[in-house]
Amino acid sequence: MISTYTAKYLKTDSGYMGQLVEWPEVVTEGRTIEECRKMLQDALKEMILAYKMQKKEIPLGGALLEQLPVEI
């Protein structure tokens, strides 16, 4: 079964931080956004494996994100 998760990235002083919206515990950093993306995919695979070994329920992916404009 293929599932998709929603990644969000934040620019930091040392590069980028990536985190999954549906599974906030899956978080990592990288010097470039490409490196961060790869590390986030690796972290997701490891977290899925750990959850399966512990017989824990894996969070579902597929979040819908929308940016809302507001005047500040």
**Does this model's pTM top 0.75?**
yes
What is the model's pLDDT at position 67? 84
Interval 20-63: pLDDT, tens: 999 999 999 999 999 999 999 999 999 999 999 999 999 988 88
For the stretch 33-37, contacts whose Cβ atoms lie closer than 8 Å and that sit 24 or more positions apart, written own/partner, are 33/9, 36/9, 37/7, 37/9
Consecutive H or E run containing 48: helix 33-53
